[in-house]
Amino acid sequence: MNTLENFPLSSEPQLLFRSSFGLIVVGFLIAGVLYCSVSVSLAQLLFPKQANGSVIELNEKMVGSALVGQAFVSDYYFHARPSAIAYDADAVGGSNLALSNPELQQQIQERVIQFADKNGISVQQVPHDMVTASGSGIDPDISPQSALLQVKRVAQQRHLSEQQVRALVQQHIQPAQLGIYGKARVNVLQLNLALDQISSTSR
């Protein structure tokens, strides 16, 4: 008959501890050091711009990131979509308000009226992305439609022809990734920087 005496516990607990500790160290070196080092090195080698935050520089000065939206309030510029976190990359998130929430409904209504008034269009023409915040709150892109609806205002403020500003927008339309993922979009910061390059009107 088998008893506990036939299966004694290890008489060397220190050996068991060393083995466990060794596995922890090896796992940390492989998953925590080697994997991270290889991943970072490959990213820097293959995608250096993206790995460093897709930073945009002008005259050797960082002006922003292609991944993070900014607030453009002047009529001289194309406006980005609203942000529930004031475009703070350290506080990424949406408003967490349901579509049926009266507060959100009021915000949307005010934004619709404001956008329509600024751009000389009817409230029915206002695109959804210009009156609702993105889930991240820092979406740097707007739809081509949203950009084109702002052409008249920007052209008038900059004393440029609508044709010239519209052509600039068309040049900055980015198609869906691989033609499949997402939708066509316009990066607002890149568009506004290009606008500054062709315009003689300062902010």
The pLDDT value recorded for residue 11 is 54
pLDDT at position 160, please? 95
Predicted TM-score (pTM) above 0.95? no
Q: Which segments of the chain have a pLDDT < 50? A: 201-203
* Strand order across the beta sheet in which 141-142 lies: 141-142, 185-187, 173-174
Check residue 202 and give its pLDDT: 44
pLDDT recorded at residue 200: 58
Closest C-alpha among 134, 7, 153, 16 to residue 73? 153
State pLDDT tens for residues 24-47. Answer: 888 888 887 878 787 777 766 666
Residue 77, judged by CB atoms within 10 A of its CB (0-12, 13-18, 19+), counts as buried
Could you give the CA distance from residue 119 to residue 79 in angstroms, rounded to a whole number?
11
What pLDDT sits at residue 157? Answer: 95
Among residues 85, 82, 83, 74, the alpha carbon closest in space to that of 118 is found at: 74
